[in-house]
Structure formats: C-alpha cells, structure tokens
C-alpha cells in the first residue's frame, strides 16, 4: 500500500464512518490521478474528511437520576363554628292581584290598589329607597266549564308586587296590617336578616379553627402521632340561615285590633374550616 494511502487508512480506521470516508477519499485521489495540478485541493479535501471522521459518531446523552421526594404524611381535620344573632332587618314582598273580565278595568283597579298599598307602606315609616317594584304583569286566563271545555269567557289578571325593606322590626306587624287594609292581597314571604354580619362571621371562623385544632390534637394523642405545621387551610361559609314567614293573606277583610303576630327568632352564621397538618 502506498505511504499516503497507508496514512489515510490509519487515520480513518477508528469507525465504520471513517472507513466509508476513507474509500471516498481514495476514489477521489484515483479520479484526479494524482495530478500535481490538483494535489493541493486533494490534500485539503482529505484533511476535511479526516476532521469530520475523528469527531463523535453519535451525540452523547447525559441522564441525571434524582430520587423522588418522600411524600409528606398529613392529617386532615375539620371544625365548625356557629354564632347566633337576633335579626335587625326584614325583607318583604307585598303584592296586589286583580282579576276582571276587561283588561283595561283590571289594570286601572290594580293601579289604584297598588298606589294605596305603597302609600300605606310609606306612612308606616318605610323610606322611599326601601320600596322597589319587583314585578308588574298582565295575562289572560281562559275559563273552562264543568266538563273541561273552553267556555269562551276570559279573565284578565294583573299582578303588581313590591319589595320592601323594613329596618324597624317593632313596626313590622303594624306595617303588614296597613298594607293589607289598603288593598294588598298577597304577601309572598318575610325574610329576616342581620344587616352587618362581619363580626359574627369572624367569630364563627375563629370558633371553627379552634374546633378543628382540638380535633387534630385529640386524634394525634390517640394515635401516638406528633402534629407538625399546618400545611393547608380552607373554609366554607354557609352564610346566615334565614327565617321565612310564608303564605298569602287576603285583603279587604276585617282586621283584629292586634297587629299581625311576627316572631323573628334567631339566625345562625355557620362556618366550616378544614385544616391539613403535617404529622411527624
């Protein structure tokens, strides 16, 4: 083997790719027939092939294996806090329902009755901002005979309701008396509430947290565990439990001397707290 060829073989003998490049280089040298005119270009080409062949045939990959972190042992507990309040505000829906054979007559009569009811509510001490129209609607109601067939008679129904906020509960019974006497013939509900519940909510949350902590301490002692830090806190506030006075009252009838009896009772603010402890 000629010296130059032997040198090329030595340089390229490391890898399969090197052998392939060596064959290509030898073929190239053969084609140019070692013409001195092209010798410099041939040497440069062979050198470039040598450099590329000496590089890594495949990229290297480095893999770092990390051990999975040990899962924390936790204890989940919950606590409940309840604070009872006396209502100081009430929301009422008062309405006038009118039924006549003529739509225009039904509307006019309903309008007169509703205006009288609203004036009675004002006279009971309710401010204008606490009286708001909730609904006004009119519809036809076809009548049926005793055999379930349409009789051809149509009754027109007009309904007008207002939402009323009562801030002085001592006057609530008298207000209802006045509204019914003025022509109100439907009272959909009386909902009692507390206007400012912030302090009660804070107290209920604090009670719930203490209840949850006590439960966690008891469970840990019974199980022989040691409580660590609190890892997570969540809570649910069910809000205030309202008291409803349901039903509808007829208007226009004789009223007793005593006002409508209303018992606000008590309301409850309830908060549930969930705690997650790390245990050791």
Express each pLDDT in 191-207 by its tens digit.
Answer: 999 999 999 999 999 99
Query: Parallel, antiparallel, or unpaired: how do β-strands 74-85 and 267-279 relate?
Result: antiparallel
Instruction: Say which residues have a Cβ less than 8 Å from residue 222's Cβ, sequence separation at least 6.
Output: none
Per-residue pLDDT of 67-93, as tens digits, reads: 666 778 999 999 999 999 999 999 999
**Closest by CA position to 175, among listed 113, 262, 110:** 262
Structural domains of the chain, ranges and CATH numbers in brackets? 3-54 (no CATH), 87-194+243-265 (3.30.70.2970)
CA distances from 27 to 9, 50, 133, 155, 239 (A): 13, 15, 101, 110, 90
* CA 173 from centre of chain: 39
The alpha carbon of residue 269 and the mean position of all alpha carbons in its chain are separated, in whole angstroms, by 20
- Residue 221, CB-side half-sphere exposure with 13 Å CA sphere: 6
pLDDT digits (tens, 9 = 90+) for 239-263: 676 544 444 444 433 334 556 787 8
Residue 72, φ and ψ in degrees, nearest 5: -75, 140
Torsion of CA 219, 223, 226, 229, to 10 degrees: -40
For residue 45, pLDDT over 80 is answered with no
Q: Specify the pTM.
A: 0.61
- The CA distance from 122 to 274, in Å, is 47
């Amino acid at each position: 083997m000629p010296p130059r060829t032997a040198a090329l073989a030595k340089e390229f003998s490391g890898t399969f790719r090197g052998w392939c490049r060596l064959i290509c280089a030898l073929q190239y040298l053969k084609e140019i027939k070692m013409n001195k005119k092209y010798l410099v270009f041939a040497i440069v080409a062979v050198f470039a092939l040598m450099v590329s062949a000496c590089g890594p045939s495949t990229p290297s990959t480095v893999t770092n294996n990390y051990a999975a972190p040990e899962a924390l042992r936790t204890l989940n507990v919950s606590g409940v806090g309840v604070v009872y309040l006396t209502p100081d505000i009430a929301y009422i829906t008062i309405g006038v329902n009118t039924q006549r054979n003529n739509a225009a007559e039904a509307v006019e009569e309903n309008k007169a009755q509703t205006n009288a009811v609203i004036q009675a509510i004002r006279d009971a001490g309710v401010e204008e901002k606490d009286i708001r129209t909730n609904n006004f609607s009119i519809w036809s109601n076809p009548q049926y005979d005793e055999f379930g067939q349409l009789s051809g008679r149509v009754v027109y129904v007009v309904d007008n309701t207002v939402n009323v906020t009562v801030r002085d509960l001592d006057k609530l019974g008298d207000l209802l008396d006045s509204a019914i006497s003025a022509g109100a013939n439907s009272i959909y509900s009386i909902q009692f509430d507390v206007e400012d519940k912030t302090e009660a909510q804070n107290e209920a949350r604090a009670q719930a947290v203490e209840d949850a902590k006590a439960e966690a301490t008891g469970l840990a002692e019974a199980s022989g565990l040691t409580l660590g830090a609190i890892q997570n806190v969540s809570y649910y506030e069910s809000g205030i439990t309202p008291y409803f006075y349901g039903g509808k009252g007829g208007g226009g009838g004789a009223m007793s001397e005593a006002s409508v009896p209303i018992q606000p009772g008590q309301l409850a603010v309830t908060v549930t707290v969930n705690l997650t402890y790390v245990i050791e």
